[in-house]
Chains A and B, each alone.
Chain A
């Protein structure tokens, strides 16, 4: 069935490096995508979103890229910091209002 998934379950980066977290989606009708960060024991925290009529959006230290041709989404974190260590989820809305989440990528930032 239609799904949102992540290429890598874990990602380890050194402090100060850039991080790239990837996500694939299968529903070409999806029109809204969100990246969430979830720390242990907490609810998902909104990072950045992008609509299907865009291919790039930037926030503070984060950039989301959307490639609709290959149905791929990525989150780039610049100058990764220890506080960025968390699980990152991509989520999509393709109909209605329910978010469809992938399984998540665990980002570990090492000093």
Chain B
């Protein structure tokens, strides 16, 4: 499968715990994006990387959230001290570095914070 992959697919955690999600983009794509989607809503942009550089962050990305892409390939999204309001689907997408190019999404990681 040459598409975007995300792990884990599901995560249940207790409030206050830290969680980390991984995204592997399509191999030749140098842009990587993180979105969050709550039930019944469209995805909301969180942050994006071009290669290893994090170039844009949404106001939704609180201090408890951190994303990395150390080698310009896979990316991790960590949420510290999780809250029930963090429960959502976390989606990763990747694209080529041309303005307006298509973003291809992974299957997402569904997080449930108890």
Contact = CB atoms under 8 A, between A and B. Distances in A.
- State which size class the interface on B falls in: 20 to 34
Interface in A37-51: 41-46, 49, 51
B72 interface: no
Interface string B55-68: 11010000000000
A42 B104 CA distance: 12
Nearest to B43: A101
23 contacts: A31-B100, A34-B103, A36-B105, A41-B107, A41-B110, A42-B107, A43-B6, A43-B106, A43-B107, A44-B43, A44-B91, A46-B104, A46-B105, A91-B42, A97-B48, A97-B95, A98-B48, A99-B33, A99-B43, A101-B42, A102-B42, A104-B40, A104-B41
Interface of A: 31-32, 34, 36, 41-46, 49, 51, 89, 91, 93, 96-104
Closest A-B pairs by Cβ, 4 of them: A101-B42, A43-B105, A32-B100, A98-B45
Interface of B: 4, 6, 31, 33, 35, 40-45, 48, 55-56, 58, 91, 93, 95, 99-100, 102-108, 110
